[in-house]
Structure 1
Amino acid sequence: MKNALPGVENGAWYSCLTDALEGRRARARDACHAHRVMEPRGRGACAPPLAALLGRFGEDCFVEAPFHCSYGVNLHLGDQVYFNAGCVVLDSAPVRVGDRSMIGPGAHIYCADHHRDPVKRGQGIERALPVRIGADVWIGGRAVILPGVTVGDGAIIAAGAVVSRDVAPGARVAGVPARPI
């Protein structure tokens, strides 16, 4: 899976404090702001700057405001994907969301994994690990998907779960850390 950010290779350590990456984050903040203040529209709506920023905005998707993404260019939404209000996607690596998946209010998806060494962490050293969410997935409100996780087709993530490991297709997980139920 190719990363659309210059100088960021999936899994390799890099500095997130470069001018080039800050420029990309500023563009994403502007697009998210435009989305937050747009006129209410029907299903399939997204502020044009946000839709243009995303790697893919599938047919009949809906992203409720407010919404935040770090870069946008690495976020690929299949058809009929729904993001409820208050979602955050830290897309320093590719994030792919399959068709008909529903993301609950306040859910977070993280690709950025900060360095364990406090000195390097203070220097902005992190790595980017992709997240894959299959088709027909339901992620409950306030759930968190951590870097490098794959969620299989038809899986259900309970509200408030913290998902640190892959979730099998059709599985249901809950808790902190998330476990099969």
Structure 2
Amino acid sequence: MNRQCMISCHNRVSIGAGCMFGPGVRIFDNNHKFSKDGGVSCALNTGEIIVGNNCWIASDVILLKGTHIGDNCVIGAGCIIDGAIPPSTIVRQKQHLDYQPIYK
């Protein structure tokens, strides 16, 4: 684990052997329940998070409930992961930056 990492565990978080975490990684196996009529409540929905062996979780990654990451994966900086990542996979965020000239 690196600086400013956080684990919020209300169900189960499992981290395999040989994993490395960059700074600012956040792991949440829960979120607040909410509804159209009642808004957000203090009650929680939970699910497990499993990180396989020998994974690199880069800086500022967020792992959400229900995430299962296979062995030998690389999760790139700034990714938000929700779901299954197959073993030996690199996940990276590709975002398009829009550049506009300043006219005034």
One-letter code aligned to 2:82:
S
Partner of 2:40: 121
One-letter code aligned to 1:152:
G
Counting only pairs closer than 5 Å after superposition, residues 129-140 of structure 1 correspond to structure 2 as: 129-140=47-58
Partner of 2:89: 171
1:109-167 CA deviation, whole Å, 9 max, x = no partner? 11112213162623x12111110000000000000111110000000000101111211
1:4-29 CA deviation, whole Å, 9 max, x = no partner? xxxxxxxxxxxxxxxxxxxxxxxxxx
What is the TM-score normalised by the length of structure 1? 0.49
Partner of 1:160: 78
Q: When you count helix as a share of all residues, which structure comes out higher?
A: 1
Partner of 1:145: 63
User: Unaligned 5+ residue runs, structure 1?
Assistant: 1-82, 177-181
The question of whether the paired residues in 2 share the 8 Å contact of 1:106 and 1:141 is answered with: yes
Partner of 1:106: 24
One-letter code aligned to 1:121:
V
The question of whether the paired residues in 2 share the 8 Å contact of 1:134 and 1:153 is answered with: yes
Q: When you count strand as a share of all residues, which structure comes out higher?
A: 2
Partner of 2:101: none
The question of whether the paired residues in 2 share the 8 Å contact of 1:113 and 1:129 is answered with: no
Provide the C-alpha distance between the structure 2 equivalents of 1:98 and 1:161, rounded to a whole number of angstroms.
19
**Larger radius of gyration, structure 1 or 2?**
2
Match of 1:96 among 14, 23, 26: 14
Higher relative CO (CA 8 A, sep ≥ 6), structure 1 or 2?
A: 2
Provide the C-alpha distance between the structure 1 equivalents of 2:32 and 2:92, rounded to a whole number of angstroms.
25
Cα root mean square deviation, aligned: 1.4
Equivalent pairs counted in the alignment come to 93
Q: Report sequence identity in percent.
A: 24
User: Unaligned 5+ residue runs, structure 2?
Assistant: 95-104
